[in-house]
Amino acid sequence: MPAQSKYEMLEKVTASLEASKGFYVVDYRGLTVKEAEELRRQLRASGANLRVLR
């Protein structure tokens, strides 16, 4: 049985998705750390955010 913390994380992710206007699922593999940081910076400037979930 999964740990309680997994259920809590799932609840937070679900609430976040329900509150958002939309979302994208992307494959970020191949980006350098610098490129990923720049992507996050640009998204933040436009009012969006980037989240990595497993």
pLDDT in tens, 12-23: 999 999 999 988
pTM of the entire structure?
0.67
Task: Determine the distance from the C-alpha atom of residue 19 to the mean position of all C-alpha atoms in its chain, rounded to a whole number.
Answer: 13
- Report whether pLDDT(44) > 90: yes
Q: Which two tokens stand for residue 34?
A: 């610098």
Residue listed under structure tokens 């490129």: 35
Eight-class DSSP state of 43 = H
- Report whether pLDDT(28) > 90: no
